[in-house]
Structure 1
Amino acid sequence: MQPSEYPELWAFLESLHLGEILSGTVTAIEPFGVFVALDDGPDHPFFSGVGFITIPELSWRHVEAVSDVVHVGQRVSCEFLQFDTWNLEARLSLRATQPDPFQALADGIAVGEKLYGRVTKLVPFGVFVQIADGLVGLVHLRELAWTPVEAPSDVVQVGDEITVVVTEIDRERRRISLSRRQGLSDQR
């Protein structure tokens, strides 16, 4: 779309600055994201709001159902990410206005620390273990037991409560590596 087609909307979107906090009301929930009517923004010619939040930008945690995070009519404050010139909308982030639970967890634990968690998923290369509310770490296959393991299901099942030791905290990639074998008494 060209600036001449919708001059008021184009001017509004161009006036926004990266990181600016914008308020509005959730107007529609779609499978691909959430539309927000911004308080100071004009109406959108096609969508139910000038602001748009993609699913990953709704929350730091994995979103199963958007309705668990927001509902139509809810007031929200979001950080402006970018001007989407193709759709003429303000891309927004709700999660950017909330503390990152991963960073809080990473601040509170250390490599070598023993934790307790619940196995949430088995994959060919290891298992995922929930170590805090909505936060999981990976126990690689080689870290499941002192003896070689062919499949994670040989030693654990989904739902098992296990002791693990933190082996790596990768803040940039937001990943925590764990070891079950180091959490076991020396059973070599």
Structure 2
Amino acid sequence: MTGADDGDLGVLRPGDVHRGTVEAVTDFGVYVRFGGHRGLITVVNLTWDRFDHPSQVMEEGDEITVVVLSVDAERAEVSLSRKDLEPDPLVELARTRLGALVRGAVTRVTPIGAFVRVGPNAEGLLPVAGLRGAERERTLQAGDELEVLIEGINLRERQVALRLP
């Protein structure tokens, strides 16, 4: 989270929004140059989208808008976010689809149940205990299409509870 090599960090405040240029893409995040400063967007603050490596989200030279999360003048570190400037997909899901039947693809199957894509950048858990009859007997696989009911959404825990209709 390296920061001030040219500028005075004292002028930066959490919540400030800046335009910048991606300088480097690493396994742990993206370094951005903005207004004489350099900051880091860690992997968790890049985007709501799922990705395996930051290079799938952006590349060196990209012009982006970032928000300052924190400034540590003693360490000359600036923490940035791009995700905080994007709409939260779970908020939109809660506002528009809570209690609704949706059709979605199984994204992965775990011992506790199947994760199903229920919206853009949103997936929920259909617990194995919630599977009935034919669904319990057949083996679900990634890519299978299911109709599920969005039963609950916890924004703080980032969880979407699903059940079969």
User: Which of 71, 74, 77 is matched with 2:62 structurally?
Assistant: 74
* 1:42-64: CA deviation from partner (whole Å, max 9, x where unpaired): xxxxxxxx211001100012222
Counterpart contact for 2:23–2:32, Cα < 8 Å: yes
| Structure with more contact order per residue of length (Cα contacts < 8 Å, sep ≥ 6) | 2
Counterpart contact for 1:10–1:88, Cα < 8 Å: no
Unaligned runs of 5+ in 1: 1-7, 42-49, 184-188
Corresponding residue of 2:146: 162
Distance in structure 2 (CA, Å) of the matches to 1:122 and 1:86:
46
Matches within 5 A, 1:8-157: 9=5, 12-41=8-37, 50-85=38-73, 87-111=75-99, 113-145=100-132, 149=136, 154-157=138-141
Distance in structure 2 (CA, Å) of the matches to 1:140 and 1:85:
46
Q: CA deviation at 1:87?
A: 4.6
Distance in structure 2 (CA, Å) of the matches to 1:87 and 1:33:
18
* TM-score, normalised with respect to structure 1: 0.77
Distance verdict in 2 for CA 1:88–1:145, change over 3 Å: same
Q: Aligned partner of 1:124: which letter? A: P
Distance in structure 2 (CA, Å) of the matches to 1:118 and 1:32:
29
Distance in structure 2 (CA, Å) of the matches to 1:102 and 1:61:
12
User: Which of 154, 159, 171 is matched with 2:155 structurally?
Assistant: 171
* 1:148-188: CA deviation from partner (whole Å, max 9, x where unpaired): 95xxx8442221101111111112222110012xx2xxxxx
Displaced runs of 4 or more, over 6 A: none
Distance verdict in 2 for CA 1:148–1:37, change over 3 Å: closer
Q: Aligned partner of 2:153: which letter? A: I
Larger Rg: 1
Distance verdict in 2 for CA 1:25–1:10, change over 3 Å: closer
C-alpha RMSD of the superposition: 2.3
Q: Which secondary structure state, in structure 1, belongs to the residue aligned with residue 8 of structure 2?
A: helix
Distance in structure 2 (CA, Å) of the matches to 1:27 and 1:10:
15
* TM-score, normalised with respect to structure 2: 0.87
Q: Aligned partner of 1:66: which letter? A: P
Q: Aligned partner of 2:110: which letter? A: V
